[in-house]
Amino acid sequence: MPTLRERSAAVMPPMALHNLPFGIDHAQGSYLYTDDGRKILDFGSGIAVNNLGHNAPTVVAAAKAQLDKMVHCCHNLFHYEVETALAERIAGLMGSGYKVYFSNSGAEAVEGAVKLAKRATERPAVIAFKGSFHGRTLLCTSLTASNSAYRKHYEGLVPSIYFAEYPKLFGTPYPMADGTCPKQYFTQFDDLFKKLVDPYTVAAIVMEPVQGEGGYVVPPREWVQYVRDICDKYGIMLVFDEVQTGFGRTGNMFAWQTHGVKPDIMACAKGIANGLPLSAVVGKAEVMDRWTAGAHGGTFGANPVSCAAALATIDMLEGGAIENGRHMGEYFMKGLQAITAKYDAVGDLRGLGLMIGMELVYPDGSPNRDLTAQITAKALERDLFLLSCGCDKNVVRFIAPLTVSQEEIDHALSILREVFAEAIEE
Ligand SMILES: Cc1ncc(COP(=O)(O)O)c(C=O)c1O
């Protein structure tokens, strides 16, 4: 019987990780079970999707019950209970005065959010950030600036998108006094508005509240607030891409709560239904109302099974998973600090909640991609799955499920202690 690896020829996409010797047979809780009999502690969570672990029982039960009731009727045509209930629930999470539109993937939600900003302001231009990742559609590719491979041969992208610097303070080329955010990250907008794009032609500033693919970069709160103030000054929509940060990842339901800065429009996906495909554009009611009939839609949006799973997901998140994730994030961070303090190669350890990144560098401070690859490979040899990220692929990211136990974190830490000793000391 050929293995999954041997049968992989017919399967796209050609991802580097597809060179792994095994495939996945099934998954449960914090673990992946491979087709060659291994049990792997999964600190990748399906790229920040399975925030409640794999196959969270109440989510699976809610999805099964909805399968028997109705799989699809199309939200372009009808209202139905689970879509309405979920919209009410998510709008409620924002406070008052928000509405929700559901689609399927993160890219679709970001695309929808930017379309909505253009529609509401009737302006053409958009500002995004270097280091960003917003998805794979042509508009999202046009907004993405973390890796030129994502854009190669797709040029002739959506016009009038301008890129500003995201404040990555570790390794910043700008002078930094006492750990405060260099002034260039603030003043750059004056320059952009003076030389490149009139602020009154800008529909949206699109930002990840913590940069994901770009290296788990946490911006200073005062800078996020400054961007909010600019948007207010010029009537620009502040769009948060919470696709990766949303649904508990940073220690609150959304990262905007962690920063204390509220967007006009938010895109979310990934953890929303703990693995079933669903995404949402969440916007201020008066902005969403600019989406009149025909302005936006999609056949598969608000799939009833996904909506039922999302309602059960939010129940679990509010019922203790977010709190557990916050505590386990602090515990894990302390453990990582204790293990890595003696290694100069660990240049920066940062994050919010259970969204933790470890940036690895050479003695001269330049990115150490090789060590990053070694750490993730050696961890996997010991049955701990980790992902990397960063524009230079030199950040190890830790995205355990929010339901992770202290024992599982301790186990991961004991593996990492060995891995660091072997990769750096031997
Ligand atoms: C911040 C962010 N935005 C958008 C996306 C795209 O989401 P999807 O792959 O579901 O289209 C991702 C995916 O990694 C993401 O991390």
| Boundaries of every domain in the chain | 8-55+320-425, 57-316
Q: What is the rounded CA–CA span in Å between residue 197 and residue 234?
A: 12
Rounded average pLDDT over 283-296: 96
- For the cut 80, the answer to whether the pLDDT of residue 179 exceeds it is no
282 Cα to the center of ligand 1, angstroms: 16
Q: Can you point out the beta strands (E) in 232-323? A: 237-241, 265-268, 279-284
Topology classification of domain 8-55+320-425: Aspartate Aminotransferase, domain 1 (3.90.1150)
The pLDDT-based confidence of 11 (bands split at 50, 70, 90) is confident
Q: For a substitution probing ligand 1, which of 244, 355, 391 has the most ligand atoms within 8 Å of its CB? A: 244
- For the cut 70, the answer to whether the pLDDT of residue 205 exceeds it is yes
Domain 57-316 has CATH 3.40.640.10: yes
Residue that the structure tokens 């750096």 belong to: 424
241 Cα to the center of ligand 1, angstroms: 8
Report the helix count and the strand count for the chain, using DSSP H and E: 13, 15
Contact 315, 51 (CB under 8 A): no
- For the cut 90, the answer to whether the pLDDT of residue 299 exceeds it is yes
424 Cα to the center of ligand 1, angstroms: 33
297 Cα to the center of ligand 1, angstroms: 19
- What pLDDT sits at residue 244? 98
Q: What is the position in ligand 1's atom list of the atom closest to the CA of 211? A: 1
- What pLDDT sits at residue 51? 98
Query: What is the percent of the chain where pLDDT is above 70?
Result: 99
213 Cα to the center of ligand 1, angstroms: 9
pLDDT digits (tens, 9 = 90+) for 89-112: 999 999 999 999 999 999 999 999
In this structure, the residue with its CA closest to atom 7 of ligand 1 is 106
Q: For a substitution probing ligand 1, which of 210, 256, 270 has the most ligand atoms within 8 Å of its CB? A: 270
Q: What is the rounded CA–CA span in Å between residue 307 and residue 65?
A: 12
Contact 209, 133 (CB under 8 A): no
Ligand 1, CB within 6 Å, residue ranges: 47, 105-107, 110, 133-135, 208, 212-213, 241, 243-244, 269
The H or E element that residue 99 is part of is strand 98-103
- For the cut 80, the answer to whether the pLDDT of residue 16 exceeds it is no
Rounded average pLDDT over 284-312: 97
In this structure, the residue with its CA closest to atom 13 of ligand 1 is 135
Q: Where are the alpha helices (DSSP H) in 147-198?
A: 184-195
The pLDDT-based confidence of 424 (bands split at 50, 70, 90) is confident
Q: For a substitution probing ligand 1, which of 15, 129, 134 has the most ligand atoms within 8 Å of its CB? A: 134
Rounded average pLDDT over 367-383: 97
- For the cut 90, the answer to whether the pLDDT of residue 187 exceeds it is yes
- For the cut 70, the answer to whether the pLDDT of residue 5 exceeds it is yes
